[in-house]
Structure formats: C-alpha cells, structure tokens
Amino acid sequence: MLALLMGALLFGLVNLLVALPVVVYEVVTGARSSERLAEGEIVVTPLLFAANNVAIALTVPIALLTMWACYGMRPRWLSSVVGGVRWGFLLRCLAACAVPYGLLLALELGQGVGEWRWQPWSLFMIGTIVLTTPFQAAGEEYGLRGLYNRAVAAWIPQRLTGALVGGLVSSLVFMALHGAGDLWLNLFYFGFGVTACRLAYRTGGLEAPVALHVVNNLASEVSLPFVDISDIFNRSAGTASAVDIAPQVGVVLIAWALMELVARLSRVVQETAPGSAAATAS
C-alpha cells in the first residue's frame, strides 16, 4: 500500500512541477487564454505536449525509487528477472513491433496525408516526439506494468492469481489515466494494458511491453508535427468506433505474437532469483 501511495503522490507532484510552469508561461505570454483555462478547457500546445511527455518519462526513476524505498529492492531488478535491461532482447522486440506497425502506417500514408501541412512548430514537434516519446512510453510501463502491477500482485500468495489480479488492476488504472469517455477507446486502453502485462509475465521483464508501447506511440504520433494538435487529448464519447480501433487492435495482437516468438527463440529467462545462475543470463 505504501508503494502504491508513494508512486501516485510522486507522479502527481512531478506532473504539477513540470506542467504548471508551462501553463503559467503560456498564459503570461498570451499563448493560452486564461478565461478558457478557468473554464477547465485544456488546449494542447507543442510546449505542453513536450512537458506531458517529460513528466510521464520521469515515472521511470519514480518507479525505481519507490521499489527501492518500499521493498528494499535494488532498482535494476524492476527491469527484469535477471537484474537489468536485456538490451539485445529489447532491440529484437522493437524490430518485431516495427513490422506490423510499419505496414499499417504505410497503408495509412498510401491513402493520403489529408490536411497535413508544415507548421511553425513542426520541427519542434519532430524533435520532441523523437527525443521524448520513447521515454514517455517507458515511463508508463515502469509505472504500471512494473510498479503497480507487482505491488498489487504481491498482496496475493498464489502466483497465478496474483498475476491476474495485478494485471487487471494495473490495466484498469492505465485505462483510467487516459481519461477517455469513449467506450471503444477505453476497451482499447484496457486491452493494451492486459497485453502488456501478459508480455511482462511471459518474458520476465519490461523490455517487450516497453517495445510495444514505444512503437505504438511513435506510429500514432507521425502526423502530429503537421496538424493542429490542440484537441488531441479529446477522448469524449463518440470520438472513436469499433471500425476506428480495429486496425490498432490487429497490429497490437500481431506484435504480441511476434514478441512471444522472439522471446521463445531468444530463450529469455522468464523467472529466477537474485544470485542464481540464471540471473546472469541476458
């Protein structure tokens, strides 16, 4: 319980410290309307988008620090059961995910780029996406599939039941944090969370979930430097449909299957204990 509370409080504090100065700066400079802000309307600007990414990326050290403080576990053991990131496996997972996502992206681009235009903020957004989105995606995985999933599962002595309950709770939290009012979006977020939990459990680490999340987010943000992003966090009812999310569900499932195959071929360590012979595997 202390780990869950500490993680949530630190996450909220970091988000406030990173985002608030940006909002104040934009109000002072006139880039943001104080009246619309007072009405609760959040207009996304390139600077606020960057701040949001940075704040979520900082969940990685938050999760590592919380596990160390509350469980006495060295930070490296949060990444995998071998006590660190298995970089070769991570790269292979990224390559596996790039196949279905690359095909979907090529299909979408082949149908035209619609209202894409070079914008005054295009270069800034390209740099922001390339430099911060991978860390933002990793932050969500370390915070939810790493910290929250394991902290909840630790309450339950029976291993499989703990994994199921931990996966269910962390996936519901993942869904809730996206603040969607649309049923189909919520189903997608929940399903994505369950898939990421399954990958973490089956591969003994966070490399596969991180790879899936990084490629998913990068693919979904390709258009952002060239369009109006002020409303990108609008997830109200009616903003999606089964037809809209079907391609995304398809590529997630294909990426999941490919990474399970990669894990099997790579013979990654799925479970071990600190100090055991298997703990030195990579």
Structure confidence at residue 195 as a pLDDT band (50, 70, 90) = very high
Largest Cα separation within the chain, whole Å, is 62
Cβ atoms 200, 209 nearer than 8 A:
yes
Q: Which two tokens stand for residue 178?
A: 């996206």
Structure confidence at residue 262 as a pLDDT band (50, 70, 90) = very high
Does 226 have pLDDT greater than 60? yes
Q: How many CA atoms lie within 13 A of 67 on its CB side?
A: 24
Amino acid identity, position 128: T
pLDDT above 90: percentage of residues in the chain:
80
Does 113 have pLDDT greater than 90? no
Q: Which two tokens stand for residue 137?
A: 């995606």
For 55-59, the CB contacts below 8 A with 24+ separation are 55/14, 55/15, 55/18, 55/19, 56/15, 56/136, 56/139, 56/140, 57/132, 57/135, 57/136, 57/138, 57/139, 58/14, 58/18, 58/139, 59/11, 59/14, 59/139, 59/140, 59/142, 59/143
Helix, strand, coil share (%) of the chain residues, nearest 5: 70, 0, 25
State the pTM of this model. Answer: 0.93
User: Cα–Cα distance between 261 and 257 in angstroms, integer?
Assistant: 6
Structure confidence at residue 281 as a pLDDT band (50, 70, 90) = very low
pLDDT one-digit tens code per residue, 15-55: 999 999 999 999 888 878 877 777 777 789 999 999 999 99
| Dihedral (CA of 143, 128, 215, 84) sign | negative
Q: Whose CA is closest to 212, among 262, 251, 173?
A: 251
User: Cα–Cα distance between 233 and 239 in angstroms, integer?
Assistant: 11
For 90-105, b where at least 16 C-beta lie within 10 A, e where not — what string? bebbbebbbebbeebb
pLDDT one-digit tens code per residue, 139-168: 999 999 999 999 999 999 898 899 999 999
What are the phi and psi torsion angles at 280 (to 5°)? Answer: -90, -5
For the segment 244-270, the average pLDDT, to the nearest whole number, is 95
| Dihedral (CA of 86, 87, 92, 94) sign | positive
